[in-house]
Amino acid sequence: MVSWPQWLSLVALVPLVGAVTTPAVSRGRSRVAALWALGVMTVTSFAALMLILRVAREGPFSYPFGGWKSPIGIEFRFDEFSASIGIVCLVGWLAVLYSQRYVEHALEEPRIPYYYTLLLLNFTGMIGFAVTGDLFNLFVFMEILSLSSYALVAISGERTAEMAGFKYLIMGAISSLMVLFSIGLLYASTGSLNMADISSRIGDGAVGPIPLAMALAGLTVGFMVKAALFPLHIWLPDAHAIAPSPVSAILSGLVVKTGLIGILRVYQIYYGAKVLDLSSLNTMLVWLGAISIVMGAFFAIFQEDIKMMLAYSTISNIGYIVMGFGLASPYSVIGGSVHIFNHALIKATLFLAAGCLIHKTGYRTLYDLRGVGKAMPLTTAALSVGAISIVGIPPTAGFLCKWYIALGAFEAGQPFFGVALIFGALFIFVYYIRMVNSFYFRQPVHPEFLEVGEAPASMLAPVLILASLCLVMGILGRIPLSFIEPAAHRLLAPLGG
Amino acid sequence: MEVVDIRPLLAPAISFACSGLVFVYGKNRLWRNFWSLSAAVIKLGVVMSMLPGALRGDVYVYKLVDFTPGIGLGFRADALGMLFALVSSTLWVLTIIYAIGYMEPEHEKSRFFGFFALSLSCTVGIAFAENLLTMFLFYEALTIATYPLVIHEETPEAFRAGRKYLIHTLTGGAFVLIATIVTFQIAGTLTLSKPGILDASMGTQTLTWLFVALIAGFGVKSAIMPLHGWLPEAMVAPTPVSALLHAVAVVKAGSFGILRTIYNVFGIALLKELGLTNWLAWIAAFTIIAASFIALFQDHLKRRLAYSTISQLSYIVLGASMLNPAAATAAIAHIANQAFAKITMFFVAGAIQRTTGKTHIHEFQGIGYRMPWTMGAFTVAALSFIGVPLFAGFVTKWYLALGTLEAGAWPFLIVLIASSLLNAGYWLPIVYMAYFKVPPGTKMHVEEARPTLLIPTLICAAYVILLGTTAQVPLMPFSVARAAVRFVFGM
C-alpha cells in the first residue's frame, strides 16, 4: 500500500478538487464546509503519510503523469525535502479544525465556505510546490498558493486587512514575475522544464554562464521575497498580523517556507550542474540570514501587538534557516531543513494560542492582556512552551536546529556566524520574556476577562497538540534529523563535501 | 566500576513530578505541602542510597534517550556529582519546612512551590549530567525555573532584578552553549566521565578561547567578579529562595560547572601544560577580597549575605585552579561547607524579618536576647565563615592553605588570611550588636521565631558544627569530596 504510485498525484489533486467543490457541497452552511475541509485534509494527510514512509524506505521516487516519462512528460518527484508536506498536512489539519469556531466569530457567514476553499487551495499550492519535479508546475503551484494567500489575508473585508493584502499582493506579484522570467530564461537556454533535466543539461556546458547567472539571481530574489528574508520582508508583518489567526499560523508557519523550499530546489539545480561557483551567493545568504535574525528580533522588541511580535519573530527564524543553507555544511543544511519543520510547529502553536486569547478576551496587546495567565492557564502555558521553544532553550524543538546550524558554522570554519546565531537567539528571548511577564506576573488591566475561561475544545486541542509536539520533537529530534540527512549529503555531494 | 541504574535519573524526576503535582493540586495548602515535603524526603533517600556505592568507587549511569544522533541525554552519579546532589537534596528538605512557615502570608504559593521543585530538579540534573549537553540543558532550565521565584513579589524592583538576572545568566548560558559546540567539534565527544577529553594537539589558541568561554559561562552563576551583578539584586526574592537558590543551588551550579570544566573537560594535566588557571586564581583572589570589602559596608543583612556569598564562592574557584589534591579537596568540600553555613544565615535573616520585621543590621541591637536560639545559630555560622576550628569553614581553609603552599603560591595564602580577617570584620559586629548593644532602658523578653522557621535553622547550624568536627567520618560530605579527588587525580 505504501508504494502505490498514485499517492503522489492524489496528494495534490485531493485538496484541489476538495477546494473547488467546497462551496457546492456546503451550499452556504458553514459547518458542512468545515467538515468537508476536514475530511479532505484527512485524506490528503493519509496520502502524505504514505509518501513519507515510502521515501524513508526507498529514497526519492517520481510519478510521470499519463505514463509519459521525463523530460517529455510532466513529472512529480518526491524527495526528502518534499516531506515538508507532512508538516503542511499536520498544521493544515489542525488549523482547519481550529478555524471552525474561530471564523464563525471573525468572519461574516456568507464568506465562510469560500474561506475553506481558499485554505484548501493554499494547501494545494504548498503541496504541489513541494512535490513537483517540473519548473513550470512549480510556478503554477506557487501562484495558486500566492493568490489564495492574498485573498486569505484580506478575507475579513476590513480596510486594514485589504491594505495588508494589497501590499502583500504587490510584493508577491513582483517576485512571481521574477521567478517566471527566470524559468523562461532557463527554458529558452536549455529547452527543458524538468529540474533534474535542466541540471544535467547545463552541467554539459551547453549554456553560457550569463543566462544561468541571471536566472539564478531572479529565482533567488523571487524566492527570498516569498520567504520574507531581510530586506525583502516588508510585506510580512502586516499581512501576518492582520490575517485571521489560523491563517496567520499557516502563513507564518508554512507559506514562507515555500520560498525556502524554492531556494533548496535552485540549489539542487545549480549545485548538481557544477557550472557556477555559488560561494558568493552563499556568503550573501549567510549575511542576510544573520541580519534577518537581528533585525527581526530588534523590531519585535518594540511591538505591543502580540501577533505583530510573532510576525517579526518569523523573520528571525527565516534568517536561521537561510543562514543554515548558506553555510553549506552538512550539519547546517540538516539543521536548516529540519527547522523548516520545527519552526512550523512552533509558530503555529504561538499563533493559534494567540488566536485563542484574542478570540476569548477581544484584546491583542501585551498591555491589555496582562494577567491572562490566570484566566486561560492552558493556552498561556502553550504559548510559554512555544516561546521557550522558539528561543531554543533545550529540550524543545527549537534547540536542536540552533545546535545543528551553529555546529555547521563551526564546521564550515565560520565561527562568527555560530556565535552570532546564539547571541541573536538571546535577543529574541528579550521580547518573549516581556510576553510571559505580562501574561503571568503583571496585574491585570482589564480584570473582567479573568472570568472568560478557556477557548472551546476544538480550538484548544490543536494548540495543546502542537505545544506538546514542540516538546516531543525536542526529545525525539534525531528522527527528523536522520531522515533529512541523506538528502543534505546528496545536495552537498557535488561540492565535494 | 560503572553500574547501570535508574536512580541518577530518578532523583531529578522526583522533583520534576513534584512540581507538576504542585502546579495541578497546589491550590490546596495540605496537598501542596504534602507533595513538596514527601518529594524532598524521597529524593534525599534516593540520593543517600547511592552514597555507599559512590564511596566504594561505583558509578551509577543511566542513558535516557539519544537527543541528536550521537549525543544522548545521559545521567551519571560520580563522586563529585554525588556531593552536589547530596547537599542540595539535604537542604531542600530543610528549606521546604522553612518555606512552609515563611511563605504563609505570601501570594501565589502554588506557583512558588512548583517552580521551587523544578529548580531543584534542574540542580540535581546538573549534578548527575553525563555529558556537557545534558548539563547545558539543565543549566538553562535552571535559569528559566528560577526566574518566577526571583520576581515573586511582582514589584518594579523585583522585575528589575529579574531582568538583570536573566540577562546575566542567559548570556552565560550562551557562552556555555558555544563552548559545548566547539568542544564537540574538536573532541568529538561531550562526556564528563573522563578526567579530561581535550588534549594539547587541538591548538593552544582554540583551547584558550574554549576555556575562557566555559569559565565565563559558568562564572556568571558562580558570581565571579565582574559577572556578579545579578546576585545582590536577586535578594528581593523571598528568603527561602535566596537561601536555597542564591546561596546553594543556582550559584553552586556555576561553581560545579567550573569544577567540571577543570577536572573533566580539560583535565589537570592539560591545564598544567596550558597554564590557564593562573589568571583564574588571581580573578578568584580579587573576588574574594573585593566582595568582602563591599560586604563590610552593607547595612541590609541580605545584601551583606549576598556579597559574602560572592566572596565564598571564589574559594571554590581558587581551590580548583591550584590543580593539586589538597586544594581540590578544599574546593569540592566547600560546596557543602559554605552551603550549610550560608543557608543558616539566610534562615536567620528570614526568621528575624518575619518575627520582628527588621531587615537592616543597625536595627539588630539586643536582638540576641529576643531571639537567643536564632542568633545562636547565626553565631555558629559566622564563626564558620571566619574559619574557627571545629566549624565547617575551618576544614576548607586548612586544606586550601595546604594547597596554596603545595603549589608554591604563597600570595594566595595572604589572600586567605586577609579574607578571614574581613569575614571577622563583617560578621562579628552583627554578633556584637545582637548581644552587647542592648539599648539602655529596654526590657528584653524572649520572642523566638515560630518552630517551622527555627527548627530548620538549628538543624543547619548543628550540621555546620558536625561538618567541622567529623570530617574523617565515612558518609559525611567530606569523604565524598575525598573520593572525587581520588578520581580526578587518579589516586
Q: What is the pLDDT of residue A322?
A: 92
- Contact predicate B152/B106, CB 8 Å: yes
Query: What b/e sequence results for B402-430 when a residue is b if at least 16 CB atoms lie within 10 Å of its CB, and e otherwise?
Result: bbbbebebeebeebbeebbebbbebbeeb
Query: What b/e sequence results for B62-98 when a residue is b if at least 16 CB atoms lie within 10 Å of its CB, and e otherwise?
Result: bebebbbeebbbbbbbbbbbbbbbbbbbbbbbbbbbb
DSSP A24-81: HHHTT-HHHHHHHHHHHHHHHHHHHHHHHHHHHHH--EEEEGGGPPTTTS-EEEE-GG
Q: Give chain A's length.
A: 497
Q: What is the pLDDT of residue B271?
A: 83
pLDDT tens string B215-253: 999 988 888 888 888 888 888 888 888 888 777 888 889
Q: In this structure, which amino acid lies at residue B139? A: Y
* CA–CA min distance B174, chain A (Å): 6
Q: Does the pLDDT value for residue B420 go beyond 50?
A: yes
* CA–CA min distance A394, chain B (Å): 5
- Give the mean pLDDT of B419-440: 84
User: pTM of this prediction?
Assistant: 0.88
From the list B147, B154, B178, which residue is nearest A422 (CB)? B178
Report how far residue A486's alpha carbon sits from residue A480's, in angstroms, rounded to the nearest whole number: 11
A-chain residue closest to B73, CA distance = A475
Q: Does A479 touch chain B (CB under 8 A)?
A: no
Contacts of A443 in chain B (CB under 8 A): 154
Counted across chains A and B, CB pairs separated by less than 8 A come out at 68
Spell out the domain ranges in chain A. Answer: 277-497
- Collect all residues with Cβ–Cβ distance below 8 Å to A105 and sequence separation of at least 6: A359
Q: What is the grid cell recorded at B452?
A: 517551622
Residue B73, sorted as left (phi over 0), alpha (psi -120 to 50) or beta, turns out to be beta
Q: Does A477 touch chain B (CB under 8 A)?
A: yes
From the list A419, A440, A477, which residue is nearest B68 (CB)? A477
From the list B133, B159, B181, which residue is nearest A437 (CB)? B159
- Collect all residues with Cβ–Cβ distance below 8 Å to B456 and sequence separation of at least 6: B94, B95, B97, B98, B347
From the list B66, B151, B177, which residue is nearest A422 (CB)? B177
* CA–CA min distance A358, chain B (Å): 25
Judged by CB atoms closer than 8 Å, whether chains meet at B141 and A443 is answered as no
Distances in Å between the alpha carbon of B360 and those of A40, A121, B363, B368, B386?
70, 69, 6, 15, 21
Q: What is the pLDDT of residue B69?
A: 64
Judged by CB atoms closer than 8 Å, whether chains meet at B178 and A426 is answered as no
ipTM: 0.84
User: How do strand A75-78 and strand B59-68 relate by DSSP bridges?
Assistant: unpaired
SS3 A203: helix
Q: Does A423 touch chain B (CB under 8 A)?
A: yes
Residue A257 burial (10 A CB sphere; 0-12, 13-18, 19+): buried
pLDDT tens string A292-345: 988 888 888 888 888 888 888 899 899 999 999 988 888 899 989 999 999 999
Report how far residue B324's alpha carbon sits from residue A156's, in angstroms, rounded to the nearest whole number: 72
- Collect all residues with Cβ–Cβ distance below 8 Å to A355 and sequence separation of at least 6: A98, A102, A244, A245, A246, A248, A249, A459
From the list B73, B163, B184, which residue is nearest A407 (CB)? B184
pLDDT tens string B147-171: 888 888 888 888 888 888 888 888 8
Judged by CB atoms closer than 8 Å, whether chains meet at A478 and B166 is answered as no
pLDDT tens string A82-109: 888 989 999 999 999 998 888 888 888 8
Judged by CB atoms closer than 8 Å, whether chains meet at A441 and B182 is answered as no
* CA–CA min distance A203, chain B (Å): 34
- Contact predicate A356/A463, CB 8 Å: yes
Report how far residue A449's alpha carbon sits from residue A443's, in angstroms, rounded to the nearest whole number: 12
Residue B109, sorted as left (phi over 0), alpha (psi -120 to 50) or beta, turns out to be alpha
Q: Does A441 touch chain B (CB under 8 A)?
A: yes
Distances in Å between the alpha carbon of B412 and those of A18, B34, B90, B278?
79, 48, 32, 11
Judged by CB atoms closer than 8 Å, whether chains meet at B69 and A423 is answered as no
Name the helix (H) or strand (E) containing A347. helix A330-361
Cα-based torsion angle of the residue sequence A393, A399, A402, A403 in order, rounded to the nearest 10 degrees: 110
Residue scoring higher pLDDT (B109 or A286): A286
A-chain residue closest to B67, CA distance = A475
Confidence category of residue A496, pLDDT binned at 50, 70, 90 = low
Report how far residue A443's alpha carbon sits from residue B378's, in angstroms, rounded to the nearest whole number: 38
From the list A395, A419, A422, which residue is nearest B137 (CB)? A395
SS3 A155: coil
Q: What is the pLDDT of residue B111?
A: 82
Contacts of B72 in chain A (CB under 8 A): none
Q: Residues of chain B whose C-beta is under 8 A from some C-beta in A? A: 65-69, 73, 133, 136-137, 140-141, 144, 147-148, 151, 154, 159, 163, 166, 170-171, 174, 177-178, 181-182, 184-185
Residue A265 forms beta bridges with which residues?
none
Contacts of B65 in chain A (CB under 8 A): 475-476
Report how far residue B362's alpha carbon sits from residue A3's, in angstroms, rounded to the nearest whole number: 82
In 3D space, the residue among B38, B153, B37 whose CA is nearest the CA of residue B101 turns out to be: B37
Q: Does the pLDDT value for residue A179 go beyond 90?
A: yes
- Collect all residues with Cβ–Cβ distance below 8 Å to B263 and sequence separation of at least 6: B80, B195, B196, B320, B328, B488
Report how far residue B43's alpha carbon sits from residue B38's, in angstroms, rounded to the nearest whole number: 8
Q: Does A442 touch chain B (CB under 8 A)?
A: yes
Cα-based torsion angle of the residue sequence A337, A342, A345, A349 in order, rounded to the nearest 10 degrees: -130
Q: In this structure, which amino acid lies at residue B308? A: S
Contacts of B67 in chain A (CB under 8 A): 395, 400, 475, 477-478
* CA–CA min distance A376, chain B (Å): 14
Mean pLDDT of chain B, nearest integer:
84
Judged by CB atoms closer than 8 Å, whether chains meet at A441 and B141 is answered as no
Which of A180-184, A259-263, A333-337, A446-450 bottoms out in mean pLDDT, i.e. has the lowest?
Answer: A446-450
Report how far residue B58's alpha carbon sits from residue B1's, in angstroms, rounded to the nearest whole number: 5
Q: What is the grid cell recorded at B475?
A: 558518609
Report how far residue A358's alpha carbon sits from residue A463's, in angstroms, rounded to the nearest whole number: 14
- Give the mean pLDDT of A177-199: 88
Instruction: Please compute, for residue A396, the number of CA atoms within 13 A of its CA located in the half-sphere on the CB side.
Output: 23
Q: Does A381 touch chain B (CB under 8 A)?
A: no
From the list A418, A423, A478, which residue is nearest B66 (CB)? A478
SS3 B3: strand
- Contact predicate B185/B179, CB 8 Å: no
Q: Does A424 touch chain B (CB under 8 A)?
A: no
C-beta atoms surrounding B274 within 10 Å: 16
Confidence category of residue B201, pLDDT binned at 50, 70, 90 = confident
Contacts of B171 in chain A (CB under 8 A): 423, 426
* CA–CA min distance B65, chain A (Å): 8
Mutate to test the interface with B, among A391, A393, A401 (most CBs of B within 10 A): A393
Q: In this structure, which amino acid lies at residue A242? A: I
Q: Does the pLDDT value for residue B189 go beyond 60?
A: yes
Q: Does the pLDDT value for residue B16 go beyond 50?
A: yes
Q: Does A3 touch chain B (CB under 8 A)?
A: no
Report how far residue A225's alpha carbon sits from residue A213's, in angstroms, rounded to the nearest whole number: 18
Report how far residue B287's alpha carbon sits from residue A202's, in angstroms, rounded to the nearest whole number: 65
Number of H helices, E strands in chain A: 20, 2
* CA–CA min distance B68, chain A (Å): 5
Contacts of B182 in chain A (CB under 8 A): 410, 415
Q: Does the pLDDT value for residue B190 go beyond 90?
A: no
Q: What is the pLDDT of residue A497?
A: 47
Distances in Å between the alpha carbon of B156 and those of A146, A302, A436, B109, B235?
46, 20, 16, 20, 14
Cell 530518578 -> residue: B10
- Give the mean pLDDT of B112-121: 86
In 3D space, the residue among B359, B331, B159, B126 whose CA is nearest the CA of residue B245 turns out to be: B126
Q: What percent of chain A is predicted at pLDDT more than 90? A: 23
Contacts of A478 in chain B (CB under 8 A): 66-69
Q: Does A419 touch chain B (CB under 8 A)?
A: yes
Report how far residue B454's alpha carbon sits from residue B439's, in angstroms, rounded to the nearest whole number: 25
From the list A403, A433, A443, which residue is nearest B68 (CB)? A403
A-chain residue closest to B71, CA distance = A478
- Give the mean pLDDT of A116-133: 91
pLDDT tens string B326-369: 888 888 888 888 888 889 988 888 888 888 888 888 887 877 78
Q: In this structure, which amino acid lies at residue A92? A: G
Report how far residue B343's alpha carbon sits from residue B305's, in angstroms, rounded to the nearest whole number: 10
Report how far residue B217's alpha carbon sits from residue B81's, in angstroms, rounded to the nearest whole number: 19
Q: What is the grid cell recorded at B396?
A: 576548607
Report how far residue A73's alpha carbon sits from residue A77's, in angstroms, rounded to the nearest whole number: 12
Q: What is the pLDDT of residue B70?
A: 65
Sheet containing strand B71-77, strands side by side = B2-4, B59-68, B71-77
